[in-house]
Amino acid sequence: MFIIHCHTPVIEWSAPIPVPIMSLLIRSCAALLLTLSLPLAAAPAPMHAQFLPPDDLTLRDAAPEQQQLLQVTDYAVVVGSQRQSNQQPIPVTSPLLIRLKGKSLNKGATINQVLVNFDGESKSLKKPVYDDKSKTLTLFHPMAQYTVVIDLLRNDTVYCQFLSYANGHVWADLHTSSVRPR
């Protein structure tokens, strides 16, 4: 029963609040508090984020500025021989690379080719580089990983992803989809 006093804007409730209404009120307040306690707009995880290593240094705490994700459809192995100049003593080198072609998978991706270079010395590998103009990602791996990469390409569907962040952090990988052991 409500009692409304005409002279004051106070509304008095003279009966106890029914249990179903109280229960609904408590649940609504709890849901509101829970919602408000969640972090504001967490950065969406990039596609294939499950293949990223743990981020112990929190280098990937923001959304990537750029993501390129390619599903490899074909590849070619290139074994070259070059001499970079007529000047002496510049040695002849024999680069080994795998050229991957495929289709880009994520929204905004323009990648259509990956060059995987293998370095025989593996002293200091260069960072992955994506060139927008040629739509090519260039990766550098130690020679010891050549057989692993070829094995992946021969036996599984392979994906290549490239992520770059505002803080300068860059990540690139070749990975398969999740496979159940036999």
Spatial contact of 106 and 67, defined as CB atoms under 8 Å apart: yes
Helical H segments across the chain, by residue range: 19-37, 146-155
Q: Which residues of the chain have pLDDT under 70?
A: 1-46, 122
Spatial contact of 175 and 161, defined as CB atoms under 8 Å apart: yes
CA distance 114 to 74: 11
- For residue range 54-105, what is the model confidence (pLDDT) as tens digits? 878 788 888 899 999 999 999 999 999 888 888 777 787 888 999 999 999 9
Place of tokens 């106890």: 16
Task: Determine whether 162 is exposed, middle or buried from the number of CB atoms within 10 Å of its CB (0-12, 13-18, 19+).
Answer: buried
Q: Where in the chain are the domains?
A: 2-37, 49-176
The phi and psi torsions of 149 (rounded to 5 degrees) equal -65, -45
The structure tokens listed for 132 are 């927008």
State the pLDDT at residue 12: 56
